[in-house]
Amino acid sequence: MLKYIVRRLILTVPILLGLSILVFLFVRALPGGPAIALLGERATQESVEQIEEELGLDRPLPVQYLSYLRNILSGDLGSSVSTRRPIVDELKQRFPATFELAAMAMLFAVAAGIPLGYVAAKRYQGVLDNVSLVASLIGISFPVFFLALLMKYVFAVKLGWLPTVGRIDVTRSLEHPTGFYLLDAIIAGDGEAFVDVLEHLIMPAIALGTIPLAIVARITRAAVLDVLGEDYVRTAKAKGLDPSVVDRRHVLRNAMLPVVTVIGLQTGLLLTGAVLTETVFSFPGLGSWILNAIRFRDYAVIQGGILFFAGMFIVVNLLVDISYAFLNPRIRYR
């Protein structure tokens, strides 16, 4: 197992290197640039050239990339052009928000999707099965931003049940030693703050988790249907085993392999694809941060953010591969 993990980590090096080259070239192909975005209507040729010289953008592209690569290897992702803050500090500040949102969204998707898919498979071609198929199709095709706006209108504007923006009430005082507001509230022993943070997470998490929920439900249904037709399931039933034991040991455990794969992929996508949700709910995470960086042509933020997203995606998929060995003892990594 250890050799497999080390080998996978080594393989990430050329992946991240190739990605860094593509991102470096892509952001510089965008129209405009940091100097024009900063100066706006006051931009003159002289002022643009001065800022580009300060940022090192007047040098040849190979020289810029080698300098950028040296900084990455030394752990320096650069600084934001608009805020002048180091990228590492921005990541430390904003990653907990995106992680909490993605974790809550995936918890919602898994807690609802797996039971829904399992029950639909057990009631194959029944009313519940057909309803779940239609509902999952709607969930996959429904735009996230429209669902988010609809939820804000119904549950915040009309009913007044939930807050609409941010991570916590601006009038509440809470120390943030970890940056994870739920964990910070538990550390502080502040139950009201914990509930407040949870209320701020409910609508964004449901809006973000709707598509993964639909996908998890459909994959679970298909996987359970495949396993129900296997010989070892029929043998277990013929031996007179309790139906709950058959479902738990033989059906669900073997059906979880493709489900876990999808959960891992969707988790990576949630971490990297929360831009629309964070924008609608003014959630101060990585998604809205990257969006603002694109608007201001903030090269350092775009490059550092995308590399960080890629690293997270690789880690999540590695954890999924490792989990296979626990779900199926026949799988061995060397």
Judged by DSSP in three states, 143 sits in coil
Considering the four listed CATH numbers 1.10.3720.10, 3.30.70.270, 2.40.50.100, 3.40.50.450, the one that applies to the domain covering 88-144+209-327 is 1.10.3720.10
Question: Which among 277, 276, 306, 262 has a CA at the least distance from the CA of 101?
Answer: 277
pLDDT of residue 330: 61
In tens digits, the chain (334 residues) has pLDDT values of 677 677 777 777 888 888 888 887 877 776 666 666 566 666 666 666 676 676 677 777 788 788 888 878 787 777 787 777 888 888 888 888 888 898 899 999 999 888 888 888 888 877 877 887 787 777 777 788 888 888 888 888 888 888 888 888 878 888 888 888 888 889 888 888 899 889 989 999 998 888 888 888 888 888 888 887 777 777 777 777 777 777 777 777 778 888 888 888 888 778 766 777 888 888 888 888 888 887 777 778 888 888 888 888 888 877 777 777 666 666 665 6
DSSP 16-78: HHHHHHHHHHHHHHSSS-HHHHHHGGG--HHHHHHHHHHHTTTS-HHHHHHHHHHHHHTT---
**pLDDT in the model for residue 255:** 81
- The b/e string for 256-282 (b: 16+ C-beta within 10 A; e otherwise) is bbebbbbbbbbbbbbbbbbbbbbbbbe
Burial 211-241 (b: 16+ CB within 10 A, else e): bbbbbbbbbbbbbbbebbeeeebeebeeeee
Domain locations in the chain as residue ranges: 2-73, 88-144+209-327
CB-based contacts of 125-130 (< 8 A; 24+ apart in sequence): 129/221
